[in-house]
Amino acid sequence: MQKVTEAAYKTTHEDVQALRDHGWKDEQIAEAVYITAMFAFFNRVADAFGIAPMGYLEMNKVST
């Protein structure tokens, strides 16, 4: 999904076919693209409004 995130316009039919060749169904491919696009959208909106990260990743770290 890196290509979809960084340069969606560069995705090709061959990229989609490679996923199919690995056993992905079209519905699964579409869902992965939708989730990636929504994540990017929400991040851009948060950045535009200056919303600070909530620190969720840090809260899940286990102290050793």
Domain ranges of the chain: 2-51
The helix (run of H) or strand (run of E) holding residue 20 is: helix 13-21
Whether the predicted model's global pTM rises above the 0.85 cut: no
Contacts by 26-32 with C-beta closer than 8 Å and gap 24+? 32/1, 32/4
10-51, pLDDT tens digit by residue?
A: 999 999 999 999 999 999 999 999 999 999 899 999 999 999
pLDDT of residue 63: 61
